[in-house]
Every structure is written in structure tokens, then in C-alpha cells.
Amino acid sequence: MVKIGNIELGDFPLSLAPMEDVSDPPFRYVCKHNGADLMYTEFISSEGLIRDAAKSMMKLDIFEYERPIGIQLFGGDIDSMREAALIAEQARPDLVDINYGCPVKAVACKGAGAALLQDIPKMVKMTEEVVKALKLPVTVKTRLGWDDNTKNIGEVAERLQDIGIKALTVHGRTRKQMYKGPADWTLIGEIKKNPRIYIPIFGNGDVDSPAKAIEMHNRYGIDGVMIGRASIGNPWIFNEIKHFLKTGQDLPLPSIDQRIEVCRTHLQKSIEWKGPIVGILEMRRHYANYFKGLAYFKDFRMRLVTTDSFDEINSILNEVEGHYADIAA
């Protein structure tokens, strides 16, 4: 049984990665109902929280059905991170996660996210201050290092564990790699084999199938995997991995009916949380992903992303269902 603090997560938990503009409550809803064991909010700016910025505060919204859920924070100032963590704690998550892995310039160039990989003492001090301030478990997500010359994740893991974090997730790339090239899990496996390490170690990067998840578990001994981009338009991946673990067999690919059902649910939850205008607008980024691989879907997609009418979207989805059911027949 893998545990983060007192949170029991099963024998090989699957977590949904925090993804900006993706892992909001509507998306988390469909992932939870398709097997995600642990989820995180989109990452939240510590400066935004302490300034009471509306966008940051909205990201604190969590719901009982999502539990266990963590709020993920990023920032470059120790005092701001401590204060933001206390604000996040008031939203009653199950844990707070610190992002030391985001590679994008808008974050790293402000001394936050993966930038802290260039200043390990500051990373350790910031984490320690958050751990001391909170009653909740604190976890960390980071990368192998800043670049190929500074893959110091082994040292980082020990030092962060020693000051009290309850789990560590490592993305198998450096900051310099961004999301390019294959993820290297070798160092993640070495952390897990380190006799000094006793906290759960989650691996992240390129897990896009049940076979890949099982391979990483068997080869590197990790406690669980975190899935990000592979879940976009494919929330079934969590149940697919669980089914494969249990039976050794692949689940059938989701039918067109299943795709449409989950897409409709996602849309409905988006409207409930964001309102009809923003909910419909922000759902547009998801249609192509839900129907990826369908021949001749482009015309349907263009209609879906250009209408503002909920009824018309449902009508188009009905057409999609009928069209591809006829083809299958």
C-alpha cells in the first residue's frame, strides 16, 4: 500500500499531472471517473494567491468527489510561498505540492519552477518553510536537473526527504530538454533503489499506454506514475492501466459512444464551473483530442469550435455519433 502521509493510494497509484489550462475541475471530473487515484489542481502562482488574484483563487476550487487531491504551487520567493501555502491549506486539499519542474520561460525566468534546480539550497529552504508552516503533507514535483551537466536529482531527493516531504514525483527530463526527446527514467530508478529513500517515488514522462506504465513499474520499481499529456482526450488511460495490471489484457479502445459520452460530460461540467460562455469557449481545445484518429472529423471539429450554442454542440455530437456508427456498421 502506497501512502502519502496518512493518505492511502493503493498498490500502484496513478496520478493526474497538474497541467495549466487542462487539469481544471471539469477535466479532473472525467479523469476521476475513469480511474485516476490522485489528482492535482493546475499549478497556482504563489504571488497570485497572496495578491488575491481572481484567476489564482479560482484554481483553489476543489470538490469532495475529487479526493484525494493536491493543490500545486509555484513561486520564486520563500516568504510568498509560505504565505501562499497557508492560503491553499484553507481550501482543504489533502496535500500541497510544490512545483520545481515547470520549464516554460514565463515561470523559470522569474526564478520559479525548474529555475530552483539551479539553486538547490534555496529549493531546500523554501520546501522546509512550507513543510513547517502546514499541517498537511507536502510533496514535490521536479525534473532530473537543469541540464545534462546538473542532473542532481539524487541529492535533491535525499535533502527534500530529510526536511519532511512525503512523496516525490520526478519528470525524466532536464529543464533544457523541455518536452523534447525521450524521458530518461534511469535516475528515477536509482532514487527508488537508494536505501536512504523511504518516501514514495512517482515517475513522470512518456507514460502513454498500459504497457509503458507496467514497464516503468517493473524495470525501475517506482511506487506509481503520474500521467499528463497522454490523458488529454484520453481519460480512459487510468482504467486501461489498472485493467492491464489486473488481467494482463488490454481493454478495448473506447467506442464512439464512449467518446461522445465523456465529451458531453466534460462540456457539461465546464459550463457548470465556468458559466455558459467561458465553459463553451474553453471546451473547444478538447474536441480534437477526444476524437483523435477519426477519419474525416475535421469538418465536425470546425463546426464544434465555431459555435457558441450548447444545443448546437449537442446536435453536432449527435451527428458525429450517427455518422461513425454508420461507418462501423
Looking only at the bridges linking them, the beta strands covering 7-8 and 3-4 are antiparallel
- Amino acid (1-letter code) at residue 2: V
If DSSP codes are grouped into helix, strand and coil, which group holds residue 274? Answer: helix
Cβ atoms of 171 and 141 within 8 Å: the answer is yes
Give helix then strand counts, H and E, for the chain. 14, 11
Name every residue whose Cβ is closer than 8 Å to that of residue 47 and which is 6 or more positions away in sequence: 75, 77, 80, 84
* CB neighbourhood size of 183 (10 A): 20
Q: Which among 270, 265, 299 has a CA at the least distance from the CA of 284?
A: 270
If DSSP codes are grouped into helix, strand and coil, which group holds residue 302? Answer: helix
- Amino acid (1-letter code) at residue 30: V
102 is catalytic: yes
Q: Which among 167, 186, 19, 191 has a CA at the least distance from the CA of 102?
A: 19
C-alpha cell recorded at residue 7: 493518505
Name every residue whose Cβ is closer than 8 Å to that of residue 182 and which is 6 or more positions away in sequence: 206
Name the residues annotated as catalytic.
Answer: 102
